[in-house]
Structure formats: C-alpha cells, structure tokens
Amino acid sequence: MTHQIDFRQQAEQFMRIGLALSSQRDLNALLEMIVDQSRAFTGTDAGTLYIVHPAQNHLSFEVVQNDTFKIRMGGKSEARINFPPVPLSVDGQPNMSHVSAYAANTGQVVNIPDVYEAQGFDFTGTRTYDAKTGYRSKSMLVIPMKDHENEIIGVLQLINARDREAEEVVPFAPDAVDLTASLASMAAVAISNVRLIRDLENLFEAFIKTIASAVDEKSKYTGGHIRRVTDLTVAIARKVSETQAGPLAYIHLTPDEVNELRIAAWMHDVGKITTPEYVVDKARKLETIFDRIELIRTRFELAQREVEAEALRRKLKRLQSEQAGDAPEIDREAQEQMQALRADFDFLAQCNTGGEFMEEARLARLKEIASRTVSLSGDAMPLLTEDEVYNLSIRKGTLTSEEFQIMRNHAAVSVKMLSQLPFSRKLRRVPEYAGGHHESLNGKGYPKGLTADQLPLQARIMAIADIFEALTAHDRPYKKPMPLSQAIKIIGAMVKEGALDPDVVDLCVREGVFLDYAKRELNPDQMDMA
C-alpha cells in the first residue's frame, strides 16, 4: 500500500505553501518551513534538509526533524546540529554510497520503499541510529533541490510516509514524488532568492561602510567619526522607541525605520569625499598642504640674522672710529630686538593654533607685526603675506569664511549624491535624514536652513549624535578632549538656543544614553560624571 495524495484536497495547500515560501525572507526560518511543509504535504514522520557547500565539497545538515522523538534541530530552533557533514566525494570520486550525496551528485530523485531492503546504498548510519533509539526507518524519499539555473543547492530527505487512515508507514506514491519534487524545486528557488537578497544586502552594507571608511581616511584624525556617530544615532533611536514615558512615549520606530536611519548615519558625511584634505584636516590657521608657520619662522630667523649683522656693522664702524666702548650697548640693543622678534613669533605661533579667541588687541598686534619687513638679498619683503595675515586673523577656530563654506558644503553634496541613488522603498528617506544632520530646529542650520516643522525626528536624532561625537572626540588636533559634563552643558545650551530637540536631549541625559556612549568611547580623563 502506498501513501496516496488527494489532488483536489492538496491543490490549495500546495498554493499556500508556494506563497509562504516566496514571502519568507529569513533563511533559517525558510529552511525550517521547507521541511515542515514538505512533511505536512506528504504526511511523513521525519525529514532532513541538507545544503550543498561546493567549496568544502560536502552536504551540511541544516534542519533535522522527527515527530516520533519530538526532535526539531536547526532552522529557527536553538538546538544546533552536531552531525558531521556528508562528503560529496571520497578519494577523488563522487560519493555514491550515501543516498543524499548520490542525489546531490546525480540530480536524481531516490524513492526507497524500505531502506532495510534497498541495494546500492550504505545505510549503516541509519541502521545504527535505529538500533540505538528503537526507531524503524522504512520508506525514504530523497530529492535534489535545483534552483532556477538548474544548479543543485540542497537535498530534501523525507522518512516514513504514513497512511493517514491506517496510521502505518507506507512507500511514497509516484504522484507524491512528483508533487514533492515540484515543491522542492519551488523551495530551491525561494532559497536562492533569499540568498540573493541577503548577498545584495551584505554587498550594500559593505559598500556603504567602504565609502564611510574612505571619507574617514581623508583625515588621519577622524577615522572613527562615522562609526561613532552611527552607533550613537542607533542607540538614541532605540531608546526613543523603548521609552514609555514623556512626550516621546507615543513614538515607536520599527526595525526597518531604525535600519533606514542607521544607513543614513553611515552615509551622512559622504559629501566630504569632495572636500579638500587641507580643509578637513586644518589643525592650524596657516595649514594648507603644510603648516606655513614654518615659512614665517624662517623669515623671523632671517630678521634675527639681520639684527645680528647690523649689530656687527655698527661695532665695526665704532672700532674704526675708535669708539669700541659702545660695543656692550650695541649687543644689548641687538639682544632686545631679537628677544622681541622671538616674542612676536611665539605670539604668531599661538595665534596659529586657533585655540584662543582673537580679540581686537591681538588683531592690532598682528597688524603691527605684519607692517614690518625683512631684508632678503638686499630686497625688503614683508614678515607676513596678506594671505597669512588673513588666516591668522580668524577670530575663532582654524577655518576662514571661505573654507568654512567649503566644509559646510559637504552636507549639500551628501544630499545631491544620495538623491541620485535608487534606494529601495524601505530606505527611500536616507538622503533626507543624512542631509539634515547639520540642520537646526531654529532654522539656522545648513544646507537648507530647515525649521522644526520641516525636520523629521530621525534627522534631529542624528544631529544630536553628530554634535555630541564632535564635542567629545579625543582625536581632533585643533582642540583638547572635552570632559563629558562640559559636552552635556554645551548640548543643553544648544537646546536653549532652539537648535536641538529638547525632548530627545532630555531622554539621552535621563536614560544615560550619553553616559553609556562615553563609557565606550571617551578617554578615562574625560569621564567626570558617573
């Protein structure tokens, strides 16, 4: 007696299985579903799914099920499979003795009424298993799983078909074999689709991280900036979704929405690819390809040599006129002039750091120094060029207004670049979120000057993460590492100015998001809060 299938009764079930397989995107869940549905479809007691690994030349156990012993291993189950893989070849020859390897090597379906009476296959393992457990393996159906390119990607093995009425083990009927083979083929295509989607996602993930690394590598000082901003952005977003109190309690970002924001965070500085390195890395006001303070140092050394030479000329002239007694006075004056030159250079070097605000008195001293000249080959040249004076006159930081605009432009370039990418429906707002990380609720941000009613929550979250990372970063050459308390104080001041979202900042402080980040990323001497 064979296990018969009622075509009318099974047609709708077959269609439901096909729809279920095509909609599943989790590979482990899909593999388990294939065995579940195949067993339910054929009424079998046990089933195993193998996956082909061409590089290792073997079949690996992915799902093992047995209703008699209530065994469910692999797939979504936490019970892992420890069975050794089945080799596809032995001593350089195709493995034809193991029935699953035979199916994978030949592409043929194997239908065995009783494995204890079968010829041509080695069922030693099956017999040993039965002897140890008391199980009786009998009917077996082994089907190679071929994808849309006719490549065998796995093997489905079903054991002990049952007659639903007589409740006894029966052989697999030809019609059951044909339908199950069709189901296995459909399942193979579903597996290939899931793998393709996963591979594309992995490729995209690797691509965006490569781009982010390229951006960070433009600056030897900010190699971890994008990664840190991304980590903090995701941490804030998850905390917002978890909170059940306060004005953000009604907001629940889905996993897809959090992932969309994560991708945007990885890509938020992609526009810096077009920003010149000397602007990204400008640690000193006079820095371009190199720090031009060294050119000024050379001119000041020339000026000191000129003072020394003039002193020697004066002493020689006094000696010739028999007034050598004035030599000490000449030396004293020369020393005072050289000391003044050294003090002026030290002042310029201090101005060059950008660490102190340039007040009017400092600017006046700078202009006075710039008015002097030094002799070079008999020609008078200024101690400072116009461009050097312009850069040293920067009141705060190290960037000129033109360089600041170049730096700010990266946000607009990011939007332009990202807007040209064909993001999927679930990632369609990546350009909007990435481009909004420098916008402010009060409309004073850039590149578009958006206001609070135009800024989505995701962009507000990323703006906070970007600013907090910049304040606390310990790898910037133009500033000292900022203590945690000072960074939070500045963030609070920006909230009062109307730049940052007060509810999100309050949540970050109250729920310890900033503190958790600081424990992971800050230097110990920055941790002045617990």
Convert the pLDDT of each residue in 108-144 to its tens digit.
999 999 999 998 899 988 898 899 989 999 999 999 9
Given pLDDT bands bounded at 50, 70 and 90, which one contains residue 374? confident
* Rounded Cα gap, residues 361 and 495, in angstroms: 33
Residues 135 and 261 reside in one and the same domain? no
Q: Which of 4-18, 265-279, 357-371 shows the highest mean pLDDT?
A: 357-371
Residue 2: per-residue pLDDT? 47
Length of the chain: 530
* 460 falls within a domain: yes
428 lies in the same domain as 377? no
E strands in 248-363: none
The two three-digit tokens of residue 154, written as one number:
């796995």
Do residue 467 and residue 345 come from a single domain? no
Tell me how crowded residue 357 is: count the other CB atoms within 10 A of its CB: 9
With a cut of 80, say whether residue 153 has pLDDT above it: yes
Closest among 187, 153, 180, 156 to 21, alpha carbons compared: 187
Q: Provide the pLDDT for residue 38.
A: 86
DSSP code, position 376: E
Residue 19 pLDDT exceeds 70:
no
- Per-residue tokens: 85: 């893989």
Separation CA 215–CA 474 (nearest Å): 18
Asked if 483 and 528 count as a contact pair (C-beta separation under 8 A), the reply is yes
Q: In terms of domains, do 161 and 34 share one?
A: yes
Last residue of a domain, one of 373, 398, 423: 398
Tell me if 31 is assigned to some domain: yes
Residues 19 and 109 in one domain: yes
Dig out the tokens for 242 from the structure.
Answer: 């978890």
Q: How confident is the model at residue 88 (pLDDT cuts 50, 70, 90)?
A: very high
Q: Residues 192, 319: one domain? A: no
Q: List the domain range (segments joined by +) for residue 63.
A: 7-197
DSSP-derived 3-state class of residue 433: helix
Shared domain check, 239 and 175: no
Residue listed under structure tokens 């190699």: 223
C-alpha span between 454 and 436 (Å, rounded): 10
Residue 451 lies in a domain: yes
In a domain, 406, yes or no: no
The dihedral built from the CA positions of residue 451, 457, 463 and 464, taken in this order, carries a sign that is positive
- Measured between alpha carbons, how far is 397 from 297 in angstroms, rounded to an integer? 21
CA 17 – CA 344 distance, rounded (Å) = 83
Per cent of the chain over pLDDT 90 is 45
CB count within 10 Å of CB 214 equals 12
- For residue 129, give the CATH number of its domain: 3.30.450.40
Same domain, 345 and 490: no
For tokens 């998001």, the residue is 513
Domain-located, residue 478: yes
In DSSP notation, 492-524 reads HHHHHTT-S-HHHHHHHHHTTHHHHHHHHHS-G
**Same-domain status, 426 and 510:** yes
Q: Which of 349, 373, 398 is the last residue of a domain?
A: 398
Residue 240 inside a domain? The answer is: yes
CB 518 within 8 A of CB 483: no
pLDDT digits (tens, 9 = 90+) for 91-113: 999 999 999 999 999 999 999 99
Rounded distance between C-alpha atoms, residue 23 and residue 252, angstroms: 25
Closest by Cα among 156, 96, 91, 88 to 120? 96
Supply the pLDDT for residue 229.
95
DSSP 482-499: PPHHHHHHHHHHHHHTT-
Residue range 406-434, pLDDT digits in tens: 888 888 888 999 999 899 899 999 999 99
Pair (185, 224) in one structural domain: no
Q: Among the three residues 398, 430, 449, which one is the final residue of a domain in this structure? A: 398
74: left (phi > 0), else alpha (psi -120 to 50), else beta? left
pTM: 0.70
Overall domain count for the chain: 3
Q: Is 40 helix (H, G, I), strand (E, B) or coil?
A: helix
Residues paired with 157 in a beta bridge: 48, 142
Output DSSP code: residue 172: B
| 176-202: average pLDDT | 84
Percent of the chain with pLDDT over 70: 92
Q: For residue 483, say if its preceding peptide bond is cis, omega within 30 degrees of 0.
A: no
Please tell me whether residues 353 and 494 are part of one structural domain: no
Domain co-membership, 341 together with 441: no
Quote the pLDDT of residue 407. Answer: 80
pLDDT of 470-501, one tens digit each?
A: 999 887 666 678 899 999 999 999 999 999 99
* pLDDT reading at 462 higher than 90: yes
**Strand-pair partners of 68:** none
Identify which of 438, 441, 439, 419 has the alpha carbon closest to the alpha carbon of residue 430.
Answer: 419
Q: Which residues contact 278 (CB under 8 A, 6 or more apart)?
A: 287, 288, 289
Q: Is residue 169 part of a domain?
A: yes
In a domain, 282, yes or no: no
